[in-house]
Structure 1
Amino acid sequence: MANISFATGRWKYLWLVAGVALGLFGMSGEWAIPIAGWLFSIALMRFTRGSSVLGGFVWVAVAAAVAAAVFVAAAGSSGVLPILFGCAILNVLLCVPFLIDRLMFQRGNPILATLVFPAARVAIEFLVAVVSPFGTVFGPLAGTQSANLPLLQLVSVTGVYGISFLMAWLAPVANAVMEHRWQWLSVRTITISYVSVLMLVLLGGGLRLATASDAPNLVRIAGISVSRSAEERMHEINNFHTPEVLPEQKPVLRRAFAVLNEDLFTRSRVEAEGGAKVVAWSETAAVVLEEDYPEFLRTARELARDTQIYLDMGIAVIRDGQQQPRSRDIAVLVAPDGQVLSTYDKAHPVPGMESLRPGDGIAPVSTTPYGRLTNVICFDADFPETLRTRADIMFVPANDWKGIEHTHSANAVFRAVENGYSLVRQTSNGIAITVDPYGVGLARTNYFSTGQQTMVVSVPTRGTWTVYGVVGDLFAWLCVAGLAGAVVLVVFRQIRQRG
């Protein structure tokens, strides 16, 4: 212990401040700075290891709750209490690995001791994603790394949690170096172990990218969101703010919705005539009363037949009167022969913002000349298990809002690499993206900075095999099991010593 140097006095609190400041930029948000995601845990751990067990955890937990409030406010959701409280609780839970590290970092083998914190971080991230209604949108450290292509390839094996593990592992390694006053002989093995693993991951990712075969076949896809001019005309017609649809409102609502739907049908025909073989709409791009849905679908089928396209439509179906829930959020895929190949209901409504009857979460896969096509809807892409399917092209119709557009589009990139398919995310009020099975960006449009709400892109018609697609979240479960085993081992040793 005499050779160990911990942060004390005012320096300890400077580490806390540095950790909180870096943490604001290290979260997967609109202010995200990728390097900050690697660094903030180092500072917070320096603080907790120099503090009492309970005192250090409380300070870090309070800071995390405040950071969550800032994050939610920046995302424009501060008025949605379920999101605000949910994010605060999640951020506090994500501080538990610091408590576990504080209790265990001086016990056992020094190298294995550095693995406790990253295993705990992954275990908490994973369990939160499985249990909470927020999925991975607010939790994983890896969220800031979607543009780091060599590192990104790791998720094809471990899922998003492999990157979180590497990022979290840096904190105990860096703290060990500082605690031993930068004495190389004392930390040589720990440092070399970490650097070696990180270099292998980066080299392996680079090799995977370098050896990726060129796509033999491409399909032209046009992603369409309703034009802003059509939305403005619709709002001029529709002034209703009642909680349910009243009979006397229906004629006006039909005229308002027709403005949106005609805009979509007209522009879809234009893109088909321009060479698009698949046209994909954003989430709830079309809006239709439930009783009018059969006629709407007939028009869509005729369009697909006339233009010989696959038409993937995001549709809001408004139900009558006081029926609960009041709407359906669906994606419908129509083939060039007019056949409806699939109808998918959104499986994960946004907590506190959407009242929908969730679908079964099984992404429908349709075999076509352009590969196996499938789709989910918007927030579903933040739940890895929902998007774990064998397909070639995944469509994610989405509708975001100013303040979360970068976060949400970046999160979808991980799903493409995990499962080895191209991903087309056409969105309103956000950033539309298309990436290939390796996470390489093929197209990108910003709803807020362009007057043309269309993304046209050539997409590979064949995906690639991934380990993650076979084993799923095995790596995360191993971290859960490893952490549980380490805790049991420490407790057992304590009992033996006292006995």
Structure 2
Amino acid sequence: MKTAIVTDSATEKTYRRQFWVRSVIGLVLAALSAALFILAFPPYDLWLLIWVGLVPMLVAQHRILPRCLSGLATGVSVGGFFWGYFSNMFANSVWYMRWLPLMIGIVAALVGGRERAFHERTCYRWFVFQGAALWVGIEMIRGFVPVIGTWGFAAYALYEQPWLIQPVSVFGIYGLSLLILLTNYALAQVTLALFDRCWRLDSAFQPVALHHARSWLVGVGAALAAWIGLSMALLDAPAPDVRVAAVQPAIRIRSEEGLQWLYAQTRRAAAQGAKLIVWNEGALPFDPQVEHTEELRALAFETGTYLVIGYGIRTEQGLRNEVTVLAPEGEFLGVYGKDHPVAFAGETSLTRGSYPVYNTTLGRLGTIICYDLDFTDTARRVARNGVQLIAVPSFDWPAIAAKHYSHVVFRAVENRVAMVKADIAFDSAIIDPYGRIIKRAVKPVSEPATLVADVPLGTANAPAIFLGDWVGWLCLAGMIFFIVLDLLTAFWERESS
């Protein structure tokens, strides 16, 4: 009897030691995935890591961590990524924005906690497709949430790779995210299959069939090759049509001196041949059709340019955050109101909901404002009205400078239009319809700049304009399918036991 007690005690100690060792190793691997994803994005731009970043997390979730802790892998990895990605982006914002990475991590842990059991029940036959559909389906949901939008989408890591992102004009940003996630999960499945050949950390587990994993890897590899081939075929280099400028003042225009500086930079850009000059969001604290109207008309006439003027007016009902286009002849062509006000900053936009496009001697011009970039719908609505170039006045803050302008690249490719982003101080950029960054002034410190560059006008004929976020909707449907399948297989397992 004493020998049996000693043996049981030794077994219990061994189990506890293995439990804690596996837990620590698993959490380290999850943290590694978070680090790899962080490094794939600006300011590090190690974009190749986005294709393999999830592999350590998935090995930790499905093999290293004890079953009862498997959800911690996704919680630590996803929450850790957003903690590093957002960094101090919302340090001075409302409490729920400061705690957003933690909340995302908790949700990811709860979702991830069911995945291992599901795949063990289904022999890992759905591993690649379920994981990719779940991730992109959640991205689709996030794309509708005002406080987060498309921030942190996997595809954004590739913003400096125009040779690779052209099929976004057909499949949207969700299509590229899906390809990235399929690649991660296919590589992870092969890794799990090889792991199972060497180690069995649990007494009862479902091994991954190597032949099945290889088939998925070959299929995803073929899809990646086809994507690259299509991208190279779609990539074009049309001749420039128009010279444009983005004026970045690095100050808020609240005095006559500041206004004269803005005028001087506009004249300087016009002297370099710019025919379209974009000012930042809220550049003027007054309605240019009501105040300083004649001097603005004189400036447009003198320079022979179209002026895209951002302005903000506070009323008793809220903020009118608007932009207008002033033609060289002195005519105000129309007004656009910000479509996506920054709700967590208390911003409103009283005149939202219209998407005008102006026929000019330069081409068909349209406008959106700052946070509108972080959603796929606004630029698409303007593109459906036949726009060729979209001006984007913005008012960013230092912590988002390295990342925010990358969103312009994808809005340009999705809609096949040129875009000119003029920021207050941090991240102005000029982008061609194929997502090439023609010129930029991107620094986390306030700095004046005037960007002038030649760009080709867009065609606004991308299939994604009319198809919308169809891949995202398919992945959302796939996510719902797998949720139902998870519940059904769990029920059948309980009934059969």
Q: Is the 8 A contact 2:426 2:446 kept in 1?
A: no
Determine the structure 1 residue equivalent to 2:277.
279
Whether 2:226 is the aligned partner of 1:225: answer: no
> What CA distance in whole angstroms lies between the structure 1 residues aligned with 2:67 and 2:342?
36
Q: Is the 8 A contact 2:402 2:442 kept in 1?
A: no
Whether 2:392 is the aligned partner of 1:396: answer: yes
> What CA distance in whole angstroms lies between the structure 2 residues aligned with 1:399 and 1:87?
24
Determine the structure 1 residue equivalent to 2:370.
378
How big is each residue's C-alpha offset from its partner over 1:118-160, in whole Å with a ceiling of 9 and x where there is no partner?
A: 00001001111113432112x3111211112232113112211
How big is each residue's C-alpha offset from its partner over 1:3-36, in whole Å with a ceiling of 9 and x where there is no partner?
A: xxxx986355334323324424514454453233
Q: Is the 8 A contact 2:76 2:105 kept in 1?
A: no
Give 2:193's aligned amino acid.
H
Determine the structure 1 residue equivalent to 2:361.
369
How far off its partner does 1:194 sit?
Answer: 1.4
Whether 2:296 is the aligned partner of 1:304: answer: no
TM-score, length of structure 1 as denominator length: 0.82
Residues 162-173 of structure 1 aligned to structure 2 (within 5 Å) = 162-173=175-186
Determine the structure 1 residue equivalent to 2:215.
189
Whether 2:325 is the aligned partner of 1:333: answer: yes
Give 2:140's aligned amino acid.
F
> Of residues 124, 145, 152 in structure 1, which corresponds to 2:165?
152
Q: Is the 8 A contact 1:156 1:468 kept in 2?
A: yes
> What CA distance in whole angstroms lies between the structure 1 residues aligned with 2:217 and 2:477?
25
Give 2:330's aligned amino acid.
G
TM-aligned CA distance change 1:213 to 1:409, over 3 Å: closer
How far off its partner does 1:71 sit?
Answer: 4.0
Q: Is the 8 A contact 1:114 1:172 kept in 2?
A: yes
> What CA distance in whole angstroms lies between the structure 2 residues aligned with 1:200 and 1:312?
40
* Equivalent position SS for 2:91: coil
**What is the alpha-carbon root mean square deviation over aligned residues?**
2.9
How far off its partner does 1:299 sit?
Answer: 2.6
TM-score, length of structure 2 as denominator length: 0.83
TM-aligned CA distance change 1:130 to 1:448, over 3 Å: closer
How far off its partner does 1:203 sit?
Answer: 1.7
> What CA distance in whole angstroms lies between the structure 1 residues aligned with 2:168 and 2:466?
13
TM-aligned CA distance change 1:358 to 1:129, over 3 Å: farther
Larger Rg: 1 or 2? 2
> Of residues 346, 349, 352 in structure 1, which corresponds to 2:344?
352
Residues 205-220 of structure 1 aligned to structure 2 (within 5 Å) = 205-209=231-235, 212=236, 214-215=238-239, 218-220=241-243
* Equivalent position SS for 1:443: strand
Whether 2:424 is the aligned partner of 1:428: answer: yes
TM-aligned CA distance change 1:316 to 1:132, over 3 Å: closer
> What CA distance in whole angstroms lies between the structure 2 residues aligned with 1:383 and 1:397?
15
In structure 2, the gaps of 5 or more residues are 1-17, 198-209
* Equivalent position SS for 2:242: strand
TM-aligned CA distance change 1:307 to 1:426, over 3 Å: same
Q: Is the 8 A contact 1:260 1:285 kept in 2?
A: no
* Equivalent position SS for 2:345: coil
Determine the structure 2 residue equivalent to 1:261.
259
TM-aligned CA distance change 1:8 to 1:218, over 3 Å: farther
Q: Is the 8 A contact 2:392 2:421 kept in 1?
A: yes
Residues 56-135 of structure 1 aligned to structure 2 (within 5 Å) = 56-58=70-72, 60-61=74-75, 64-65=78-79, 67-75=81-89, 77=91, 80-93=94-107, 98-99=112-113, 101-108=115-122, 112-135=126-149
TM-aligned CA distance change 1:395 to 1:149, over 3 Å: same
TM-aligned CA distance change 1:8 to 1:353, over 3 Å: same
Q: Percent identity?
A: 24
> What CA distance in whole angstroms lies between the structure 2 residues aligned with 1:441 and 1:73?
25
> What CA distance in whole angstroms lies between the structure 2 residues aligned with 1:19 and 1:459?
43
How far off its partner does 1:265 sit?
Answer: 2.1
Deviates more, 1:453-462 or 1:57-66: 57-66
> What CA distance in whole angstroms lies between the structure 2 residues aligned with 1:96 and 1:365?
45
Give 1:89's aligned amino acid.
M
> Of residues 54, 71, 76 in structure 2, which corresponds to 1:41?
54
Determine the structure 2 residue equivalent to 1:13.
24
* Equivalent position SS for 2:148: coil
How far off its partner does 1:63 sit?
Answer: 5.7
In structure 1, the gaps of 5 or more residues are 1-6, 235-255
> What CA distance in whole angstroms lies between the structure 1 residues aligned with 2:257 and 2:105?
43
TM-aligned CA distance change 1:53 to 1:480, over 3 Å: farther
> Of residues 449, 456, 460 in structure 2, which corresponds to 1:460?
456
> What CA distance in whole angstroms lies between the structure 1 residues aligned with 2:349 and 2:137?
30
> What CA distance in whole angstroms lies between the structure 2 residues aligned with 1:122 and 1:334?
41
Determine the structure 1 residue equivalent to 2:228.
202
> What CA distance in whole angstroms lies between the structure 2 residues aligned with 1:188 and 1:401?
46
Q: Is the 8 A contact 2:307 2:325 kept in 1?
A: yes
Give 1:83's aligned amino acid.
M
Q: Is the 8 A contact 2:31 2:80 kept in 1?
A: no
> What CA distance in whole angstroms lies between the structure 1 residues aligned with 2:32 and 2:271?
52
TM-aligned CA distance change 1:106 to 1:397, over 3 Å: same
How far off its partner does 1:107 sit?
Answer: 4.8
> What CA distance in whole angstroms lies between the structure 1 residues aligned with 2:20 and 2:216?
28
* Equivalent position SS for 2:364: strand
